[in-house]
Structure 1
Amino acid sequence: MSGIKSARGVPSPEYLRLYQRWGEGDIGIIVSGNTMVRYDAVEAYGNPIIVDDHDGRVAKFKEVTSVAKAQGSLVVAQLSHPGRQGTKYLNPNPISASDVHLTIKWAGNEFAKPRPMTVPEIKEMVRTWGESAYLCWKAGFDGVQVHCAHGYLLAQFLSPTTNRRTDEYGGDLNNRSRIVFEIIDEIHRRVPDPGFIVCVKLNSVEFQDKGTTPEDARDLCLKLEEARVDFVDLSGGTFEGRAFEHKKQSTIAREAYFIEFAEMIRPLLKKTKVYVTGGLRTAAGMVKAIEEGACDGIGIGRPLAAEPYLVKEILEGKVTGAIENYVPLPLNTQSSGTQLHQIGHGDELISDWSVEAEVKRWIEAHEKETERKLSILPKVDSSGYAPLKAEAGFAYLAA
């Protein structure tokens, strides 16, 4: 995740500062936020884009990797394409596996009906992904993550709810996943470094009828190991089926949203490692998940927006877990974006969402920003995260 806007897809000073802070936080692997592989298809306003070296963007990304890696972290670029899941005001002519329209509104966004990609377009997309991975390697990234989750383009190919093709890219799971494995092969072909990490973010479940199932995820992971994927990051959900709205009581008790799926998959893999992202908030829960063999590693998302030094403080024994977050679901994604902007702007305080008065201030700011954003459509001038100067928060950024 990042949430900090860039100019023309080139990392901004705010973006650089955010990754510098994370680099200071003893995170093992820093996985970037959505980094787009096409200029004409962005998930949100201000997404970073790495398609070519126009405007010296490789050098700018090199600045990001340099500060993020300065204290020993590895840095992996999350490469993505929104497919049908980009606001229609930025993506008026979207492409997808099929012409299945995303008709819901999410965070004030509406989505245009996509058209199915032609086979030549799919082949070109595969080449594009490989070129972006090569540029990431030149920019100093230690690897790339192929984003196949959360309803974006590759998830649209994988899911039978959005892939209704009848050619070699549709039908059974082998065909629906064909584009993913072609992309992985192209990345291995284009990047000359055998130590370059190739990983995949994958839905373990979609939480909607006829969507991707845990059994699909299991079968895909076995094939991903054959394709020399270093690790899979198990997540879940789409804009239509949000993961956090479907937690079982057993999952809540164990913190992680996707731990039960990881337990099914991990014993089958010999080389590929399994990470789980989503829900783990305490050091004890993280340790238990690994010691019990449910996964090999833990991914942390929103808590690092609130506490960029959380990992360091856990390792040093200063804290036992992430601070509480009282922002109501599903608004916590947007509230995390506000915190990311506070870090990027160098604010001395990051808002503390365990303080109810601060949450109330943010909700008011969010409603005001949403109203402003909707009033200027079809113009889009921000990522939609409400600006807020924290009154109750953490002051360690000033240290």
Structure 2
Amino acid sequence: MSATQVPTSVAHLSSPLALRNGQTLPNRLMKSALSESLGAPDCGPSPELERLYARWATGGFGLVVTGNVMVDRRHRGEPGNVVIEDDRHIDGLRAWAQTFRGSGTPLWMQVNHPGRQANALVTKLRPVAPSAIGARVPGAVRPRALEDSEIRDIIERYATAASVAEAAGFDGVQLHGAHGYLITQFLSPLSNQRDDAWGGDAERRRTFVIEVLRAVRSAVRPDFAVGIKLNSADFQRGGFTEDESRDVVRELVAEGIDLIEISGGSYEKPAMLGAVRASTAAREAYFLEYAASVRELAGAVPIAVTGGFRTTAAMEAAVASAECDLVGLGRPAAVAPDVPRRVLEQGADAVRAGDVRVGLRSVLGKVIDLRQVDGALDLSWHTDQLHRLGAGREPDLDRSWARALVAMGLHNGPAAFRSKRG
């Protein structure tokens, strides 16, 4: 086969994708956000972070999205988060972005505020949230409700982070509106029970995310990409629904969003664990059916789906059918930083993820919720792989669940037993 010939089995995955801000992605495989926990003690980027991203820069992705960068050092999701409040770390951020110069792959920074999911090991203040309602997860602290002025300050913090990311040389930002973080907390009636301009009905609950998008857009150039990772639903009774999510998509598109990545669930109700419907299992992706349902609403805005993809055939079929425009790969990128090259150039028919579950299930299952621990352990195991890559080593697919469990507890304290996701 010649170097320029594209196998028919990956013809759609190999095709470029133009965004409406003028940016073009070279193919349809996206490295979805993974929380690396590799920030320096002063909350700036580290050499280990640069080393990790240098590996992904040569991996052949169409787009790479960083792990969540916090907008307020007083409220962080976990130890090792990078924080942008101003340009104090601009040199380190430039070095991080520079790892992708000349790669042909755009690098976007995911920006985030944890809200009530702030980690007690690194957040000494009481967590904040739309309402004073705690998350039902181990180690969670009941938050206090944000004042109007504080909400507006946080919105400006998102804009500042995006502006600094642009100045550092990143190609775009992704707002984290999934997995129970602050944007999600505003969207869900279970965590937002305000009766002012920021809550009270579905329209007012989505005001926060729309104002964040507007502030970010006004702070960056038109050709700087702004995307979002959005929950399809939070999968809890009385919570954020798919119909409400579709309304959010409609407004985001009208406001000029460049890319929507679909995910779902929260720390309280992880959506990518446990039993799935037969139709989901057959097509591998967890949120593909929902993504297809918003395809018409999104219009020219591409839809990415992350979670569950493992075979090249399923990835190619999802893009070929236009159910989604991009396939997000998270955990596979932790164990094979060159996974797109394996799929698009070397003919790999499947990708590995290294799924891990806690052992001693008959014993531990009597005292802990194995479903939550499995999710946290699996993500911790993959974070260990990222740390190996950041140290200049190769992934260790034989790393035991017990070693990952100990590392998880030491790193995160009580918050370890949440299934952290980027």
- 2:327 & 2:418 partners in 1: Cα distance? 29
2:404 to 366, 371, 379: 366
Match of 2:248 in 1: 220
Does residue 277 of the first structure (1) align with residue 306 of the second (2)? yes
Q: Deviations over 1:112-160 (max 9, x none)?
A: 1101111111111111111111001001111111111000011000011
Q: Deviations over 1:84-125 (max 9, x none)?
A: 0022232241100101112321xxxx1211011111111111
- 2:172 & 2:311 partners in 1: Cα distance? 28
SS of 1:174 mapped into structure 2: helix
Q: Unpaired runs of 5+ in structure 1? A: 353-357, 386-399
Instruction: Say if 1:222 and 1:351 are closer, same or farther in 2 by CA, change over 3 A.
Output: same
Match of 2:79 in 1: 45
Q: Unpaired runs of 5+ in structure 2? A: 1-33, 358-373
SS of 2:323 mapped into structure 1: coil
* Conservation of the 8 A alpha-carbon contact between 2:267 and 2:418: no
SS of 1:20 mapped into structure 2: helix
Q: Deviations over 1:201-232 (max 9, x none)?
A: 10002121112111111111111110000111
Match of 1:97 in 2: 130
Q: TM-score, normalised by structure 1?
A: 0.88
Q: Deviations over 1:311-364 (max 9, x none)?
A: 1111103412212534124221111001101100011x3112xxxxx2xx5212
Instruction: Say if 1:372 and 1:47 are closer, same or farther in 2 by CA, change over 3 A.
Output: closer
2:214 to 185, 202, 207: 185
Instruction: Say if 1:181 and 1:384 are closer, same or farther in 2 by CA, change over 3 A.
Output: closer
Does residue 332 of the first structure (1) align with residue 378 of the second (2)? yes
* Conservation of the 8 A alpha-carbon contact between 1:50 and 1:58: no
- 1:332 & 1:68 partners in 2: Cα distance? 28
Does residue 66 of the first structure (1) align with residue 111 of the second (2)? no
Match of 1:83 in 2: 115
- 1:309 & 1:373 partners in 2: Cα distance? 27
**How many residues were matched structurally?**
366
SS of 2:176 mapped into structure 1: strand
SS of 1:185 mapped into structure 2: helix
Aligned-pair identity (%): 34
SS of 1:243 mapped into structure 2: coil
SS of 1:244 mapped into structure 2: coil
Match of 1:164 in 2: 193
**1:341 alignment partner AA:** H
- 1:384 & 1:207 partners in 2: Cα distance? 16
Does 1 or 2 have the higher relative contact order (CA < 8 Å, sep 6+)? Answer: 2
* Conservation of the 8 A alpha-carbon contact between 2:69 and 2:82: yes
Query: How far did residue 269 of structure 1 move?
Result: 2.2
Query: How far did residue 308 of structure 1 move?
Result: 0.4
**2:183 alignment partner AA:** L
Instruction: Say if 1:85 and 1:26 are closer, same or farther in 2 by CA, change over 3 A.
Output: same
* Conservation of the 8 A alpha-carbon contact between 1:35 and 1:49: yes
* Conservation of the 8 A alpha-carbon contact between 2:332 and 2:353: no
Residue correspondence of structure 1 range 218-257 to structure 2 within 5 A: 218-245=246-273, 247-257=276-286
1:297 to 326, 329, 332: 326
- What CA RMSD, in Å, does the superposition of the two structures yield over aligned residues? 2.1
